[in-house]
Amino acid sequence: MSTLVTGTTGQVGRRFVPRLLAQARAGDGVRILVRDAARAERFAELGAEVVLGDLRDTDALGKAVAGVDAVVNVAASFRGVPDEEAWAVNRDAAVELGRAALASGVRRFVQVSTGLVYGLGRGRPLVEEDEVRPGGEMWGAYTESKAEAERELLALDGMEVRIGRLPFVYGEGDPHLAQSLRWAANWASAQRLQLAHHADVAQGLLRLLHAPAVSGPVHNIADDAPVTAVELHQLNGVEVPAELYTRTDPDPWFGIMSTERIRRDLGFRPHFPTVWSARDAGAL
């Protein structure tokens, strides 16, 4: 199988591609689309084919997908970017990539999405059949643009599209865990955050990429134990603000996802079931 990966210089992509290359069998190929040749050198040394171009350039997309069997679209734009950029990258470019892949005869398209598309909690872990209700001022157009990309990609006829919805991703030097205190400092003490280590994000995406069949196009990828605001402070070695204990969590099930489907369908089991196991293994 020959696979194109986008978003390879981001936090998820730069950790996913080496794992994809490590699992490649004889005859498999890995191609990456990047804008900066210098940032692709590491991947080229590992065996990836590099195509230079911008995800928002339709000519570059045609060149990138030519001759590949599958696409994994990791590229995303979020956290503080203008809404116009979020829409341009997360929806418009993703859909154009899907159309280019379909026109080129690509058989499988794996879209990396976010559990934030669920919006409000449902009083239980979120499941893939739940209605998508994106929104929230903190994320700008990120959640809505990701939800629209899912909808339009799944509507493409003639190519199998699989969606992997991610929670808050951390590990292997990713600064996200430290950055979580930007929000957790203003939460209630028991307010929770669903996590997944990069090793498990890669595991989930690889299973979506290679599985011959699935029971549905959408799969949540997450670990087994969401962490509280208090635990996030403890993990970062920061004193817990006293005011956290005076607040009430407005939506205790916000962002908490079920992994029953990916476990049942694809045999997914987290390498790091909790962030504490990752810490003990020195994998933060």
**Between the CA of residue 168 and those of 49, 180, 246, 255, 258, what are the distances in Å?**
29, 9, 25, 9, 14
Per-residue pLDDT of 172-204, as tens digits, reads 999 999 999 999 999 999 999 999 999 999 999
**Per-residue confidence (pLDDT) for residue 136, from 0 to 100:** 63
Domain around 206: 2-280
pLDDT tens-digit series, residues 148-159? 999 999 999 999
Give me the pLDDT at residue 214, please.
95
Q: Give how many domains the chain has, as a whole number.
A: 1
Residue carrying the six token digits 């916000």: 254
Whether the pLDDT of residue 81 is over 90: the answer is no
Do residues 229 and 190 make contact, with C-beta atoms less than 8 angstroms apart?
A: yes
Report whether pLDDT(70) > 90: yes
Instruction: Select from 19, 223, 7, 8 the least CA-distant residue to 115.
Output: 223
The CATH number given to whatever domain includes residue 177 is 3.40.50.720
